[in-house]
Amino acid sequence: MKSLLLIFFCASIFVQPVRAQQESASLIQWYSNLQRQAIDETIEKRLKEKQQDLQQAAEMHDDSARIFLLVESGMLQAASYKYEEAIDVLLKALNQADSDGSTIGQFYAYLSIAHVFSETGNKEKGLQFLERADALAPGLNQSDHLAFVLNALGRAYASIDSIADAFESFNEVLKLKEQLQYPVLEAEALSNLAQLYRRQKDYTNSLDYFKQALTIQRRERKRQEEGELLNEIGALYSMMNNRERAYANYKAALEVFQRIDYKKGIAEAYNNIGEYYYDQRNYAQAIANLELAAMAGQAANSKEAMLNSYEYLSMAYKALNNFERALHYKSNQLNIRDLIIEEGNNQKLLEKQSAYALQQMEVEIDRLERVKMDRERELAEQKRIQRYLYGMAALGIVIAVLILYLYLLKRRSNKQLKVINARIEAQNVQLQTLNNTKDKFFSIIGHDIKGPLNSLTSFSGLLINHFEALSKEDIQTVARDLDKSLKNLFTLLNNLLEWARSQTGNIDFTPAPFDVVEVLNQNKELLHAQAAAKEITILHEQVSPMMVTANQQSITTVVRNLISNAIKFTPANGVIKLSAEQSGNEVIVSIADTGVGMSNTVKEKLFRLDAKHSTPGTANEKGTGLGLILCKDFVEKNGGRIWVESEEGKGSVFYFSLRN
Ligand code: ADP
């Protein structure tokens, strides 16, 4: 787009086409040329061409090109003194730039409006618009824009005698010189400063600045500017009464202007040389140069130059006493002066006429400004709301993230709590189990050790009380029984400790094959004395072994408990029958008694730690209600089942199963 625009500009610069193409066409160069253009016969044609280009830009919806074409048209109108039309077109440019948000467009529109106002003599307004352009310049990426507007501002300040401000503006340009892409801007600032110094009669400084400007313009091959500067330097030397140097510079200026065939410059240079000879009283040379000046002035249509030539020619001829020629040139001089006054009057009239129209335009400009400001305010408000909404959204996101984070944190801690609770629960259960185990342990000690100890006491009592009556053989039998009982008690204690360990998880019920008939027999032997004391007979007639796979010690404990219970709950003369039978792939062991039996309610309470049912035996034996729980525990740990069949008053049969 930008390159398209540049091509477009190159094509549209008719003002000084050769120069524009020789130099890299920057916007500022384009605009500088626009401002310098003089009214001539091509202006109408150029305006028409702009009209066509504008139409084309509208068709292509190229708003950017439209802004610059409008600026160019406005400047062309201004060059042909059509200030109303100029402002009208420039307002369109400003409007377009405003609605496109094109800062560069606004910048050139302001510059051009300022130009038109200062052309019509409204310096204040001109300055006002230059200041607007100045405010926009730093936002444009090229320092050239700022330098250009500062030069224009400086000249405007100088024109209203704000010399300090003018100095400051031009010096600002010099500060930018390193960044400038178009060095002519620096030369202009130097030349402007030189003029300010000259105005203050500081000729030394003025000369210095003019010379610096000249160096740059020469380097940049700006011939017209070079010639103009040489003329300025010449005039300055003349003011400083250095006539030789003044002459040399005028001569140099003339050469430069002749080389580019710039008639107006040629006229001015010849005039200066003529004046120099006149001052030297070399009237012949003065006349020769002044006549050349008059010719060039005519060719350039420069009335000021002609006025100057005629005035000095008249004076030179007068000095030579050629009154006829003197009169001729005097009358020429007066004619030209009248023409200039007339032109000036016309110009003033024109300016007056445009002034009113421009005042109307000012209202329109102010309106546009207000609209623009309103829009900017609106935009700022929208941006503010947008920022606020973004802020709220960001806050919302932060809050949401925070909530999510807290939720996750809570969930995690809940999970942890649950795990801890479960652990505590498990520990509680474990503690409860341990507690129950402890209770059981003590009760078993009471339950299972008391019986054997009783029989031991009865043996020892027999020995103590009936020692005399007992034969040697009897004593030996009792001693053997006593020994047997003690051994059984020892085994029992071992069993108990093992059970206790099993309860705390410290024992494994590693199964091994053994003869269950043997176990029944051993227990029958062990409890024989206890049964005999209640006159109860234990029957067990099986002889052939019956192998099972279980933990023998724990099964011994079970059998002993069940026989003990049978003795306990069977009155005198009762019978206890032990048996083991194969049933399918398991062995069913049964201990049947002819005792008190039990009701269904009691049966339901058996084998349950939570029920802990216990009744005294037929001989008022005490119990704890834990023996059967121990039996169930041991049988199940060996992979078997335990159950009871019983009828109140008739007796009970306890069964348990074992694997082969
Ligand atoms: P304890 O005998 O110490 O009370 P047990 O767990 O061995 O504890 O027995 C629980 C209860 O079951 C006994 O108190 C008794 O009421 C009943 N019981 C156990 N065995 C028999 C049986 N052979 N005949 C009748 N009742 C029995």
Instruction: State the DSSP string of 9-57.
Output: HHHH--SSHHHHHHS---HHHHHHHHHH----TTHHHHHHHHHHHHHHH
> Does pLDDT of 21 surpass 50?
no
Distance from Cα 563 to the centre of ligand 1, integer Å? 11
- Going from the Cα of 433 to the center of ligand 1, the distance in angstroms, rounded, reads 22
Give pLDDT tens digits for 416-447: 999 999 999 999 988 887 787 677 667 666 66
Residues 6+ apart with CB under 8 A from 634: 499, 502, 509, 551, 554, 555, 557, 558
User: Which residue among 615, 629, 647 is best mutated to probe the pocket of ligand 1, counting the most ligand atoms within 8 A of its Cβ?
Assistant: 615
What is the average per-residue pLDDT within 337-348? Answer: 84
Q: Which atom of ligand 1 lies nearest, measured to the CA of 593?
A: 23
**How far is ligand 1, taken at its centre, from the CA of residue 38, in Å?**
136
The finding on whether 617 has its CB within 6 A of some atom of ligand 1 is no
Query: For every residue of 249-281, which 3-state class applies, written as one string?
Result: HHHHHHHHHHHHCCHHHHHHHHHHHHHHHHHCC
Is the pLDDT confidence value at 141 over 60?
yes
Ligand 1 mean position to 525 CA, how many Å?
21
Cβ of 593 closer than 6 Å to ligand 1, yes or no, is yes
How far apart CA 475 and CA 463 sit, in angstroms, is 7
Tokens of 271: 């005039």
Q: State whether the beta carbon of 628 lies less than 6 angstroms from ligand 1.
A: yes
Q: What is the pLDDT of residue 626?
A: 66
Instruction: Find out whether 508 and 534 touch, Cβ atoms under 8 Å.
Output: no
Classify residue 205 as exposed, middle or buried by CB count within 10 Å of its CB (0-12, 13-18, 19+).
middle
Q: How many CB atoms lie within 10 A of CB 175?
A: 12
Q: Helix, strand, or coil here: 95? A: helix
d(CA 588, CA 569): 22
Q: pLDDT confidence of 196, banded at 50, 70, 90?
A: very high
What number of other Cβ atoms are within 10 A of residue 458's Cβ? 17
Going by pLDDT thresholds of 50, 70 and 90, the confidence category of residue 502 is: low
Which residue type is seen at 309? S
Give residue 360's pLDDT band: very low, low, confident or very high (50, 70, 90): confident
Question: What CATH architecture does domain 1-159 belong to?
Answer: Alpha Horseshoe (1.25)
Q: Give the end-to-end CA distance of the chain in Å, rounded to a whole number.
A: 101
Give the H/E segment covering residue 589. Answer: strand 586-593
Domain ranges of the chain: 1-159, 402-507, 510-659
Mean of per-residue pLDDT scores for the chain: 87
- 614 C-alpha to ligand 1 centroid (Å): 6
Per DSSP, 179 falls in state G
pLDDT at 337 over 80: yes
565 lines ligand 1 (CB under 6 A): yes
Q: Quote the pLDDT of residue 136.
A: 93
SS3 state at 243: helix
Torsion angle, alpha carbons of 97, 102, 104, 105, to 10: -10
**pLDDT bracket for residue 374 (50, 70, 90):** confident
Which run of H or of E encompasses 349? Answer: helix 323-444
The residue-averaged pLDDT of 210-225 equals 95
566 lines ligand 1 (CB under 6 A): yes
Q: 564 in ligand 1 pocket by Cβ < 6 Å?
A: no
> What's the 541 CA to ligand 1 centre distance in angstroms?
25
Query: Please, which residues bridge with residue 512 across strands?
Result: 550
pLDDT band of 12, cuts 50, 70, 90: very low
Residue 443 has a pLDDT of 67
Question: pLDDT at position 314, please?
Answer: 95
pLDDT of 586 above 90:
yes
Residue owning the nearest CA to atom 23 of ligand 1: 566
CATH of domain 510-659: 3.30.565.10
Which CATH number fits the domain 402-507, given the four candidates 2.30.42.10, 1.25.40.320, 3.30.420.40, 1.10.287.130? 1.10.287.130
Q: Are 333 and 294 in contact (CB under 8 A)?
A: no
Burial of 328 (0-12, 13-18, 19+ CB in 10 A): middle
Ligand 1 contact via 621 beta carbon (within 6 Å): no
47 lines ligand 1 (CB under 6 A): no
Closest CA to 621 of 560, 565, 555: 565
| Closest residue CA from atom 12 of ligand 1 | 614
Q: Give the distance (Å) from ligand 1 centre to CA of residue 565.
A: 6
Query: What single DSSP character describes residue 529?
Result: H
Please state the φ and ψ torsions of residue 339, each to the nearest 5 degrees: -60, -45
Identify the residue whose C-alpha is closest to ligand 1 atom 8: 625
Q: What is the mean pLDDT of residues 276-301?
A: 95
Report the alpha-carbon distance of residue 214 to residue 234 in Å, rounded: 12
For residue 597, give the ligand 1 atom closest to its CA: 25
| 548 beta partners | 514
Write the residue with the smallest CA distance to atom 11 of ligand 1.
614
C-alpha span between 404 and 392 (Å, rounded): 18
Find out whether 578 and 520 touch, Cβ atoms under 8 Å.
yes
